[in-house]
Structure formats: C-alpha cells, structure tokens
Amino acid sequence: MATKGNLTKERLTESMLQLIQTSGYSGTGLNAVIEHAGAPKGSVYFHFPDGKEGLGVAAVELAAKRFETLIVEAALSADGAAEAARAAIEALTTIVSESNFRLGCPVSVVTLEMGAESERLREACATAFESWITPTAALLEADGLDAKEARALATVVVSTIEGAVIVSRAMHDTQPLISAADVVSELIKQRCLKIEGTR
C-alpha cells in the first residue's frame, strides 16, 4: 500500500509531467507544480532535494514508462512489428488529438529545451528514448531482422514518431502522424519481406 508521502511524490511527478507538456520545462515553475498537485509547500524539496531538475528527471522517467507500456501493449495485440508500430502511433494520435494538440512527448520537449543545459536531464531523455528503441528492436528481431538492422530500424521508427508528434502539434493536424503510421508500417514490412526473400 502506498504511503501518504509516496502518493504526494507521485502527484508532484504527474503534475510536472503534465505541465511540461503544456508549458514546457522552462515555463514550469515549482510553485505551479505544487499548486497543480495540491501538495503542501515544501513537499518538492522533501521528495526531490535537488529541486526542479530532480523532479524533471522523475517526470521524464514516468513518460518513458508510459510509452514503453504503450509499445508493449501494441505488440501484444498486433500481428508483427508493422502492426504494432501502427497501433502505437494510432494510440499517440488519439492522445494528441483529444488534448487539442496540447499534449505530445514531454521527453522531446525536455531534450530540446535542456539537452545542452543539464547533463542529468539529457541522460534521462537518452535513457527514455532507449527504453522505446529496445523493445521496438526486439519486435523487429522477432520478425526476422538481425540485431544490427533491427536496432537501426527501431531508431528510425522512434525518431519518425517523435518528429511526427512535433509537426502534428505545430500544425494542429493529425495528418503527419497518420502519414508516419503508413510510412513506418510499410517500411517495416518491406525490410522484413526483404529478409524473408534472402532465406
């Protein structure tokens, strides 16, 4: 059973994550996080002694876990890597659209804003992207690609999705994500068919 302190820490992390998506990392102050979370004053430094940076790392880690879960769930309900990629992108499209394009990927937001300013945040973002590339590569290997090619293609897939989210939010249009789903799934099918044809 979660303690009161753990619940407060979780609320602070969730609030930080939501505010990063709507206001950016630089635009999110600790007072706003405390107010959004309905947490006691002083709770941030109690749970995150290193302040905003530590809270930012926790928010990035939470975002990483959620998208990794989305990938895993897509894989369980799909027949192969191409369908899994499409399902994951379609789920993201729904999130972006239903938020009126206010929500996207907080990891990319933090990377763009703080990647050159905070090594700790950059490393957290790199770890987050890795946590998405690795299971995607595993799906591709299961479809017949060797480890090196699977890793390369998984990196392209994740990078494409990240870019499509940003462009969709900028345009207030889901078409970039829809196009990404089509292109990524077709690319995976072609690569896997090529491997099968050489056997």
DSSP letters for 169-196: HHHT-SHHHHHHHHHHHHHHHHHHHHHH
Query: Where in the sequence is the domain holding 132, given as residue range(s)?
Result: 4-197
> Could you read off the pLDDT of 64-111 as tens digits, one per residue?
999 999 999 988 888 899 999 999 999 999 999 999 999 889 999 999
Q: How many domains does the chain have?
A: 1
The reported pLDDT for the residue numbered 198 is 57
CATH number at 13 reads 1.10.357.10
Q: Is 12 exposed, middle or buried (0-12, 13-18, 19+ CB in 10 A)?
A: buried
Grade residue 193 by pLDDT with cuts at 50, 70 and 90.
confident
